[in-house]
Amino acid sequence: MSPAATSTRARSSTPPSTGPRPDLRGELDRRRAARRRLVRAGVAALVLAIVAALVWLVTASSVLTAREVTVAGQRELSADQLRQAAAVPLGVPLARQDLDAIARRATSLPQVASARVKRSWPHTIAVTVVEREPLLAVQQPGGYALVDASGVAYETRGRVPDGVMLVDADPSATRLLTDLATVASALPTELRDRVLRLRATAADDITVELSSGTTVRWGDARESVLKGQIVEALLSKKVRLIDVSVPHNPATR
C-alpha cells in the first residue's frame, strides 16, 4: 500500500470535533455575559424603583398622612387643650412631622412638665404629657401660685389644694422656690402632715412652722433629708424652737 493511501485512511478515521469552534465559543460567552449584565441592571432598576415608590409613599403621598392626634397623661388639662397647644398639622405625612417641635408646643402650657411625641402608623400622632404636681402654694394677689417640685410656679388658684404646703416667699424668686421645694420634698411623711407653712426671706433663712406651734429654723436647703430626720426625732420633746441650720449640732429651746 502506498504512503498516500495510508495518509488518506488516517485522516478519514479521525472523529469530527463535537464542540463549538473557538471563535463561536467566545461569542457565546460574550452573549451570556451581556445577558447577565442586563439581568443585574434590570434587578437594580427594579430595586431603585421600589425604593423610590416607598419613599414617595411615606414622605409625599396622602396615604400615610396625619389624620388623628391622641393625647394621654393629662389630669387637669383637657384633651382639647393639649391638641390645640400641640398644633399637629393634619394632612402632612407622618414621616415629615417635626416631633420635637410638637413636644415643644405641648410644653408651652405652664401645667405641662414634659411631653413625648411619637408616630403611630398609619395615621396617628400620639402625644403623652406629664403634668406638674403642686407641692407648694405661694399667696399672692388674686389667689395662690402653685409651685411644683422643681420650683416652678405654673398656675394660680383661688384656694390651696389639699396636701399642698403654704409658703411665704416671693413667687418670682425661682431659686428660693426651688430650695423650698427641696425642703418640702425631703420632709418625712409624718412631719409633712404637721407643717403649717414654710417661710423664707433668703436661701439660708428657711423656717418651718408646725401646727403644734413649734418653729424649726432650717437654714438652707442642704442636707434637708438629715434635717428632717433630726426634727422628727426632736419632736418627742416639748420645745418651741428647733434649730437644725447646722444639722450636726442641732439645738432646741
Beta bridge partners of 131: 112
- 154 and 227 together in one domain: yes
Q: Which of 220, 217, 222 is nearest to 252 (CA)?
A: 217
Residue 55, pLDDT > 70, answer no
- 209 and 166 together in one domain: yes
Q: What is the pLDDT of residues 190-228, one digit of tens each?
A: 999 999 999 999 999 999 999 999 999 999 999 999 999
Quote the mean pLDDT of the chain: 88
- 83 and 108 together in one domain: yes
Are the beta carbons of 51 and 109 closer than 8 angstroms? no
Percent share of the chain, pLDDT over 90: 72
Residue 9 resides in a domain: no
- Structural domain boundaries enclosing 56: 26-61
Residue that terminates a domain, selected from 61, 84, 110: 61
- 162 and 213 together in one domain: yes
Determine the pLDDT at residue 61: 62
The strand order across the sheet containing 124-131 reads: 68-72, 124-131, 112-120
Residue 73 resides in a domain: yes
Q: What is the pLDDT of residues 65-123, one digit of tens each?
A: 999 999 999 999 999 999 999 999 999 999 999 999 999 999 999 999 999 999 999 99
Q: What is the pLDDT of residues 139-192, one digit of tens each?
A: 999 899 999 999 999 999 999 999 999 999 988 899 999 999 999 999 999 999
Are the beta carbons of 161 and 143 closer than 8 angstroms? no
Summarize the confidence of residues 40-47 as an average pLDDT.
Answer: 73
- 95 and 182 together in one domain: no
- 160 and 119 together in one domain: no
Rounded Cα gap, residues 127 and 111, in angstroms = 15
| Whole-model pTM over 0.75 | no
Residue 33 resides in a domain: yes
Residue that terminates a domain, selected from 131, 160, 180: 131
